[in-house]
């Protein structure tokens, strides 16, 4: 009986250590807002593709993201909520995660519409949110993400 209890205790500790290692992998990931591309527009809305580059800095272990929930702002005006599903980033690699957004025309103020219609304006993109990953014993651990990029919409 003691051997069985010792075996289960050792297995639980090993699983806990593996979860801590995975937690460190995800916490050491680097995020960058690669692009925000206008893909379609009409009288009622704009469609954008938001691409986030996620780099796993660990050379041996993959990083597993559970999900991402955030908010995209353009020139300090909230445009839309951004979500990403679970994914795995291989060791020492970068993965581009894409989210498609449909932003209603009502979200744009007249200044932003003027900048977009000119076609030569520079827009400031900013993405803030929380990345979630699974920690020890199945606990969901949040990591804040705050990334931005200054650049043209095209």
Which domains, from first to last, does the chain contain?
2-152 (2.60.40.10)
Beta strand spans in the chain (E): 30-41, 45-55, 63-65, 67-74, 77-84, 87-89, 94-104, 122-134, 140-152
Q: In this predicted model, which residue has the larger pLDDT, 14 or 88?
A: 88
Residue 12 banded pLDDT, cuts 50, 70, 90:
very low
pLDDT tens, residue by residue, 58-70: 888 888 888 889 9
Query: How many residues are listed for the chain in this entry?
Result: 154
Query: Rounded CA gap, 153 and 121, in Å?
Result: 8
Q: Provide the whole-model pTM.
A: 0.68
Tokens of 34: 């690669």
């Amino acid at each position: 009986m003691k051997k069985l209890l010792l075996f289960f205790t050792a297995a639980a500790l090993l699983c806990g250590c593996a979860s801590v290692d995975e937690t460190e992998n995800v916490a050491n990931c680097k995020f960058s807002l690669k692009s925000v591309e206008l893909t379609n527009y009409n009288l009622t809305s704009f469609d954008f593709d938001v691409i986030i580059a996620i780099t796993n800095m660990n050379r041996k272990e993959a990083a597993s993201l559970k999900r991402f929930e955030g908010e995209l702002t353009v020139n300090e005006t909230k445009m839309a909520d951004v979500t990403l599903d679970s994914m795995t980033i291989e060791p020492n690699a970068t993965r581009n995660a894409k989210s498609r957004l449909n932003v209603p025309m009502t979200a744009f103020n007249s200044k932003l519409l003027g900048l977009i219609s000119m076609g030569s304006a520079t827009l400031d993109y900013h993405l803030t949110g929380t990345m979630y990953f699974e920690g020890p014993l199945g606990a969901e651990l949040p990591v804040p993400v705050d990334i931005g990029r200054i650049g043209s919409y095209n």
